[in-house]
Chains A and B, each alone.
Chain A
Amino acid sequence: MSAERPVRAPGRWAVLAALALLAVVMLSPFLIVTLNAFKSPAEYSSGGPLSLPKGLYLDGIIDFWNRVDFGEKLWNSLLISGAVAIGAVVLSVLNAYALGIGRVRGRLWILVLFLVANTLPQESLVYPLYYLSKQVGLYDSKLAVILIFTVIQAAFGTYLLSSVLGQFPREILEAASIDGAGKWRALSRIVVPISRPTLSVLLIFFFIWTWNEFFLPLIFLISNDNQTVPVALGVLQGEKMMDATMSSASALLGIVPAVAFFLIFQRTLTRGVTVGAIK
């Protein structure tokens, strides 16, 4: 095809322009929210949502931060997501050690069970969990949410890590066993250090997935001082006190940590995003 060879300069710029336009559309909500979070209500009502802010008006953000005690929400989210990430990685490693390296009997069925557990909708667990946690006095506590998500995330982690550890070099383990190392020692001194890159990817994924969760935290964390960032924002929006600029300030406060994690963990994430795809 002769038309293909000569460089069709207008054509290639048109493709780039179309793709760039799409990028602008995708990013525009972020830009518009940021723009308006720094406006005063008066500025907003006179200039509308698309005008540039005349100065850096921070009162909307500060007001919202203080009213909902946003620092506390951040801390709750950090605590829950961090605890879940660590707990779920530990559980996943223990399970995957037994399934992938120990090759215990019936491991295929155990793996299927974990896979099913991972795909079950939380709706089909929520009411009994709610009921049981009330019975044992864990309702409206961060601990209940931590326990539940540790198990849910570990279901996925086990599934993934078992296949990774299934390919663990046997010679190393056999050498260790000849040297008299027991199973615990082999796990803590050999398997964990060697699989550290995979484990750190899992840790980050568990952290972010838990941070982003909404349904169970919404039901379990009803008191203000237990709420996570997404729950607080999701419940508050539409309230009377929320005018246009304060709403955009609240949206911005939800966006910033998520984008920060993305930037911090970007390298690990792009390496692992195909790993996460199995979820």
Chain B
Amino acid sequence: MAPSPVRPRGRGGYWLFLIPSFVLFTVVIVVPFVMNVATSFTRWSGVGTPTWIGLDNYTKLFKDERFWTSFEHNAALIVAMAVVPTVIGLVLSAALFDYIGKKFGSRTASALRAAYYLPQVLPVAVAGVVWNWMLHPSYGAVNAIFGTKVNWLGDPDLALATVMAIMVWFQLGYPVVIFMAGLQRADPALHEAAEIDGASWWRRFWHITIPQIRPEIFVVLLTCTIAALKVFGPIFVLTRGGPGNATMVPSYFSYLNFFEKANVGYGSAIATVLALIIVVVTFLFLRVQERDS
């Protein structure tokens, strides 16, 4: 980085302002992260001295079926938390913005937007408490509504799909709000010209609306994908990874190893791999976005 040519008097010394953060960051993030990576090369129960075992945790990890299953579930949750909400969110925000907003007034549009957004304001653990209650096999409201007797979260064939559905409910409002804000920024002239030219609503949606809010789509996909990779609260509250391993995810898998099985070294290896994946995904997204703009 070239030093800026003009340096007015008294410009130096700003780094002093970074000292508090430097200290706190070292203690809260840098040291723990390095310790975690170091621990991943050891066998350790959390007490006593860790035994150095080199890459054993990682070789074991790559052969561990639970580990791979947990990442498959992560992929499913990326679909439920990033892909599906983005796709539905695009259609909804476009419909609200240039159909409902124009034909029924912007008040109707914002009321509907607020309704879609409301689940997003809940702490995700509270959302889990709500759905646990709604889906309770004996007294839950969902079975009462549909007249069924299904154990939504307790049936290994259904549990993951149920969690996915809950996460779609939880996430949907976020893309709707972001995309509507993006549409407000977009230039309406293009749309009007296309409408005069006789382009159908779908054509305009595909060729005008979507390209205009590309940056917002990127941001939503990135943040939701990261959230899906990190997901812990809903799994803890709804299923604890079960039944069996039906909803096991890496974050919960590492938690189990840390705090219930006292396999701290193994847990650290899982957490390190997860961190690596998230950082790589973030940089890939930012790369693509940079190239795009």
- In the complex, the answer to whether B96 meets A19 with C-beta atoms within 8 Å is yes
Given the contacts A98-B18, A147-B28, A234 and B267 also touching, CB distance less than 8 Å: no
- In the complex, the answer to whether B1 meets A106 with C-beta atoms within 8 Å is yes
How many chain A residues touch B (Cβ–Cβ < 8 Å)? 98
- In the complex, the answer to whether B32 meets A91 with C-beta atoms within 8 Å is no
With CB as the reference atom, state the residue of chain A lying closest to B141: A49
With a CB–CB cut-off of 8 A, which chain A residues contact B128?
Answer: 234
With a CB–CB cut-off of 8 A, which chain B residues contact A94?
Answer: 17-18, 20-21
How many chain B residues touch A (Cβ–Cβ < 8 Å)? 97
Shortest Cβ gap from B164 to chain A (Å): 16
Question: At the interface with chain A, which of B58-66, B77-85, B131-139?
Answer: B131-139
- In the complex, the answer to whether A91 meets B282 with C-beta atoms within 8 Å is no
- In the complex, the answer to whether A15 meets B119 with C-beta atoms within 8 Å is no
Flag whether A95 is at the interface (Cβ < 8 A): yes
Interface residues of A in 138-155 (CB under 8 A from B): 147-148, 150-152, 154-155
- In the complex, the answer to whether A50 meets B144 with C-beta atoms within 8 Å is yes
Determine the distance from Cα of A92 to Cα of B220 in the docked complex, in whole angstroms: 24
- In the complex, the answer to whether B229 meets A27 with C-beta atoms within 8 Å is no
- In the complex, the answer to whether B118 meets A125 with C-beta atoms within 8 Å is no
Interface residues of B in 82-131 (CB under 8 A from A): 92, 95-96, 99-100, 103-104, 108, 111-112, 115-116, 118-119, 121-126, 128-131
Interchain residue pairs A-B with the least CB separation, the first 10: A102-B14, A254-B126, A128-B32, A23-B115, A128-B35, A49-B141, A212-B123, A214-B233, A124-B275, A230-B125
The interface of chain B, by Cβ under 8 A from chain A, is 1, 3-4, 8-11, 13-18, 20-21, 24-25, 28-29, 31-33, 35-36, 39, 46, 92, 95-96, 99-100, 103-104, 108, 111-112, 115-116, 118-119, 121-126, 128-134, 136, 139-141, 144-145, 169, 172-173, 177-178, 181-182, 195, 198, 200, 216, 219-220, 223, 226, 229-230, 232-233, 236-237, 250-251, 254-255, 258-259, 264, 267-268, 270-272, 274-275, 278-279, 282
